[in-house]
Amino acid sequence: MFYESTIFKNEDALSFEYLPELLPHREAQIKILAQNIEPAANNRRPQNTFIFGAPGIGKTAVTKFVFREFEENFPNVKTVYINCWDYNTSVAVLSKICEELGIIVQRRGWAKDEILSRLVEMLAKMKKGIIIALDEVDQLIFKDSNALYDLVRINQYVKIPVGIVFVSNDPLVFSKIEPRIRSSLNIDDIEFKPYTLSEMKDILTERTKLALRGFEDGVIILAANHAVKKGGDVRAGLEALMKASKIADDKNESKLKVEHVKKVLQEVTKVKPRILEERISENEKVILDVLKEGGFEFRNLYEKYSKSVENPGTEKMLRNYLKHLENVKLVKYLKTKKVFKIA
């Protein structure tokens, strides 16, 4: 039987992945990014761009939004969006770009230079410009610091316009790469500032209007306040509204009420650490579990960790995991006490 919700009009509109038709309060950033990549449509070199700012404030949404609009308006430019958590080496990134251009890449056996030359060949043949977004680029630089060098090389080999949009939470992500590479990328920075409470209210109002048949005015301010308190991450507001709407839906209510939102606020914690915990490797998850018991010096941590996993590997490997966990800000190292702990 088809069940019609009393409250949801379009539940998707409250999900994290939903990309709305409008992004209120990011008009200025959208405009700059669009202007930076626009030369590609006229066969001129686009301006490489670096977007940075706190988690959950529209960096990914703006990038995908501009790409969507751009492809609709300029079919002679191909846009490729890559999340570097999923593609964190030079070979992985280059293969992904190939795949998006319709080149079949042999999973095994192709060396980096071969992938690169096929890619360059294809780009030259297509006579299309290409704009590549490397979202969460810190993951790529962490794993494979030469990767950006390979991307710069594409630019040197082909005459068609190639532009790169880098996105990260970490404003200092490029401090880890060679200054020569950084300067050859000639990057324009766009800083995303956190939303104010009133901006957060506007954003959540629009999303809620799309999602629900009805809601009390008070629910927005509650959710917006909560999101601002949880570090300004819009997702905390969306999650509170989604969870509360599900309660209202179960009760066959036609309207989301303040009482529903109040019920869920406590369980809606910071979103970013939870997302990260899903993305890290199994061994890293074990390390976090150990550290949840308290702080540990490296020796003791290694011992405890070794007992908790089948293949602990060398101390060096544990150090690398810890470096990564520190890098994504899930773990902190207290220098004075020589202790690792949960951040």
HSE (side-chain half, CA atoms, 13 Å) at 295: 12
State which of residues 5, 24, 295, 326 lies at the interface with ligand ADP (CB under 6 A): 24
According to DSSP, the β-strands at 339-342 and 331-334 are: antiparallel
Q: Which is nearer to ligand ADP, 220 or 290 (CB)?
A: 220
Instruction: Assess 46 for contact with ligand ADP (CB under 6 A).
Output: no
State which of residues 23, 98, 115, 137 lies at the interface with ligand ADP (CB under 6 A): 23
Q: How many residues bind ligand ADP (CB under 6 A)?
A: 17
Instruction: Give the end-to-end CA distance of the chain in Å, rounded to a whole number.
Output: 48
How far apart CA 150 and CA 160 sit, in angstroms, is 17
Q: What are the respective helix, strand and coil percentages of the chain, to the nearest 5?
A: 55, 10, 35
How far apart CA 106 and CA 121 sit, in angstroms, is 16
- Residue 56 touches which of ligand ADP, Mg ion, none (Cβ within 5-8 Å per kind): ligand ADP
Give the x/- contact pattern for ligand ADP in 195-234, rule: CB under 6 A.
--------x------------------------------x
Instruction: Assess 168 for contact with Mg ion (CB under 5 A).
Output: no
Q: Using the structure block, give the residue that is written with the tokens 């070199």.
A: 45
Separation of CA 39 from chain center: 25
Restricting to residues 42-71, name those near Mg ion by CB under 5 A.
59-60
- 215 CB neighbour count, 10 Å cutoff: 25
Instruction: Assess 59 for contact with ligand ADP (CB under 6 A).
Output: yes
**Part in contact with ligand ADP (CB under 6 A); list of ranges 55-63, 80-88, 101-109, 294-302:** 55-63
Site residues for ligand ADP per CB under 6 A: 16, 20, 23-26, 55-61, 203, 234-235, 238
